[in-house]
Chain A
Amino acid sequence: MLGITKDVVTEIGKYYLIALILLIPIPLAGDYVTHVTILVMLYAVTAASLDILVGYTGRLSLGHAAFFAVGAYTSTLLAMNWGVSPWIGIFLGGLMASVFGLILGVPSLKLRGPYLAISTLGFGVIVWLMLINLDWLTRGPLGIPGIPPLPGIGPIDFRSKVAFYYVALAFTLVSIFLLHLLTKSRVGKILMSIREDEDAALSVGVDVPLFKVYAFLISTFFAGISGGLYAHYLRYISPEISTLGESIYILSMTIIGGFGTLIGPVMGAAVLSLLQELLRSYLEYRYLIYGMLIILVMKFFPSGIYGIVQFILRKVRE
């Protein structure tokens, strides 16, 4: 039904196999590198999930951090208040994020351009305010410390960075592979047709509202799961993870990386996270450089880092 052939699976699959082989030895580089890579991977999935909305469906969202946060809080609260195993809780967190995606996605169906941008922004602010003000549930601005780690399997203890790294790696590769398959499927092509021309898609019988809602459900689900993993990895969360700044950070990964390519947002997550780490010693000048970078990329390479890489590869081949 999705229109994916075996050929497509094997064709895409081999890249993920290469990525897997390249990423397996990372923990050898020490705890710090492992830690940064874990965060990059969680951000990569979130940015790639946002790409389904922004890049493929043509629906700008300035509130994606809210879904990440909903996933994180759901799994955390389930584990801490009802003893639900994080393995299940993280999945339920993804579903809860999808429910929130529905709450935002359905009323905003008809909105376009800046109207949609501001509505999603407003939604993000409302979720943030809820996390701050519903302190009987979320402990308010203090956040929740002491979140239980992923329960160990046999001798494996997921409190260790190395063990968690492989969970995150598996999650990242599987998620992006699934999103990648989605973009190659019939559904993916329909989403792109909505981006290219909504009215034309409508006129050839595409149920545009339904597919827009699909895009929201899928995108927010993966953001929610990333949030859940994040919570059980750092074992501390606060409303800070749902601020407008976070949403903009995720969106800039997607766009600076190269939206509508899926792999671009992954590159964006890696480059922007590494940049944050590298610029850490410049403290107050950090955002000056960060803002400048966004402006330069948008001005001279609107197709993003992915576009730059392709450009260089083409030059090398010639």
Chain B
Amino acid sequence: MVVQPMELLEQILFGLMIGGIYGVIGVGLTMIFGVMRLSNFAHGEFYMLGAYFTYTFVTLMGGDPFLLAPLAAVAVGAVGIAINRLLFKSLYEELKEAKGAAAFYFQDLKFIMLTIGLSILFVDLALVLWGPIPISIPSPLTKHIVKLPGGLSFSLARLIAFVVAIATLVGLYAFLKFTKTGRAIRATAQNPSAAMLVGVNIYKIYDITMFLSTGLAALAGGILGPIYNVYPTMGLDVVAKAFVVVITGGMGNVIGSILAGFLIGLAESLGGLFLGTEYKQVVAFVIMIIVLWVRPEGILGGGRK
């Protein structure tokens, strides 16, 4: 198969753009794992809700989805906090009491099943509220075409989505690194009981982490909504990939997830070009399998042995 250099360049650009979005979704998932030691299988549904919330805000208030997506992210983040308090809080307490490998395994299973239930519930809720037909969030920016020398072109919406993703990741990194709350989150991730000893309210940290995690996923959904279709099961299509990103980057490792997001985005894009689009989905899993085989702690090392 002959691949034109321009085609290759185009796929690299697309890969980097989608990689940024994978990074945003993956970072949220890895934070939940790093801080709470739990894997959230409903993570994709917050991404889906973000897209639908943005759509609803746009139809109700008018305005551009790129301006309203952060608002949707805050709203979904609030849903995240509510779920955290209603459903997950008792689990953290049980997890603290848990002793022995089997007890941890049962907690893991319980949480995975709980979030699977949540995911099924949200998908159907979206189906009931917004209907099964894929919609597209209207944005005038999708019609602006950016032309690059050499015949490359893509819509302004894609470029803005990419810029928003990068800005979000940089902002999150700065927040975790330099603010007091960010330090408290990192401390809780490292050692919850020690963090408590120095006066960190870990349940508040769990709330904040949940807010950030679900909000980031929702933001990704909101800014992708004008570019791709929005439909009830869109979260299911993305959650497996988000886990692949998280595992590849090392579970609980924020920077690792960001890098892995770009890596998987690029690899998928190029894989689609060279192997054909039908095997595009396999590429991510193959990378994950190789990483698990060669370096199980992830490319940058993870939180849990």
Chain A residues with a Cβ under 8 A of chain B:
54, 58, 60, 107, 110-111, 113-115, 117-119, 121-123, 125-126, 129, 132-133, 195-199, 244-245, 248, 251-252, 255-256, 259, 284-288, 290-295, 298-299, 302
Residue of A nearest to B103 (CB): A196
- Contact, CB under 8 Å: B289 / A291: no
- Contact, CB under 8 Å: B109 / A291: no
Q: Chain A contacts of B117 at CB under 8 A?
A: 252, 291-295, 298
Q: How many residues of B contact A (CB 8 A)?
A: 45
- Contact, CB under 8 Å: B243 / A118: yes
Type the 1/0 row for B97-141, where 1 means its CB is closer than 8 Å to any CB of A: 000111011101110111011111111110110000000000000
B290 CB, min distance to chain A CBs, angstroms = 11
Ranked 4 nearest A-B pairs via Cβ: A291-B121, A294-B117, A291-B120, A287-B124
Q: How far, in angstroms, from A251 to B127 measured CA to CA in the complex? A: 23
Q: How far, in angstroms, from A97 to B113 measured CA to CA in the complex? A: 25
Known pairs A285-B124, A287-B124; A111 contacts B87 (CB<8 A)? no
A14 CB, min distance to chain B CBs, angstroms = 31
Whether B229 sits at the interface, judged by CB under 8 Å, is: no
B276 CB, min distance to chain A CBs, angstroms = 9
**A288 touches which of B90, B100, B128, B240 (Cβ 8 Å):** B128
- Contact, CB under 8 Å: A244 / B236: yes
Of residues 206 through 249 on chain B, the ones whose CB sits less than 8 Å from some CB of chain A are: 236, 240, 243-244, 247
Q: Chain A contacts of B39 at CB under 8 A?
A: 113-114, 117
A-binding segment of B143-151, B157-165, B192-200, B279-287: B279-287
Whether B33 sits at the interface, judged by CB under 8 Å, is: yes
Q: How far, in angstroms, from A121 to B292 measured CA to CA in the complex? A: 14
Max count, chain A CB within 10 A of own CB: residue among B101, B104, B114, B278: B101
- Contact, CB under 8 Å: B288 / A299: no
- Contact, CB under 8 Å: A287 / B123: yes
Q: Chain A contacts of B205 at CB under 8 A?
A: none
Q: Chain B contacts of A132 at CB under 8 A?
A: 278
Q: Chain B contacts of A123 at CB under 8 A?
A: 285
Known pairs A122-B285, A125-B281; A255 contacts B240 (CB<8 A)? no
Residue of A nearest to B281 (CB): A129
Q: How far, in angstroms, from A82 to B205 measured CA to CA in the complex? A: 62
Q: Chain B contacts of A117 at CB under 8 A?
A: 39, 112
B288 CB, min distance to chain A CBs, angstroms = 6
A39 CB, min distance to chain B CBs, angstroms = 20
Known pairs A114-B39, A195-B105, A244-B240; A298 contacts B128 (CB<8 A)? no
B46 CB, min distance to chain A CBs, angstroms = 15
Of residues 246 through 305 on chain B, the ones whose CB sits less than 8 Å from some CB of chain A are: 247, 251, 278-279, 281-282, 285, 288-289, 292-293, 296, 304
Q: Chain B contacts of A292 at CB under 8 A?
A: 117, 121
- Contact, CB under 8 Å: A113 / B108: yes
- Contact, CB under 8 Å: B124 / A295: no
- Contact, CB under 8 Å: A118 / B124: no
Question: Can you list 18 contacts pairing A with B, beta carbon distance less than 8 Å?
Answer: A60-B109, A113-B105, A113-B304, A114-B243, A117-B112, A118-B243, A118-B288, A122-B288, A122-B289, A129-B281, A251-B113, A286-B124, A287-B120, A291-B123, A294-B113, A295-B117, A295-B118, A298-B117
- Contact, CB under 8 Å: A197 / B100: yes
- Contact, CB under 8 Å: B289 / A298: no
B158 CB, min distance to chain A CBs, angstroms = 27
Q: How far, in angstroms, from A141 to B79 measured CA to CA in the complex? A: 37
Known pairs A118-B240, A292-B117, A295-B114; A285 contacts B101 (CB<8 A)? no
Known pairs A114-B251, A299-B87; A197 contacts B296 (CB<8 A)? no
Q: Chain A contacts of B293 at CB under 8 A?
A: 107
Of residues 78 through 101 on chain B, the ones whose CB sits less than 8 Å from some CB of chain A are: 87, 90, 100-101
Q: Chain A contacts of B110 at CB under 8 A?
A: 298, 302
Q: Chain A contacts of B114 at CB under 8 A?
A: 294-295, 298-299
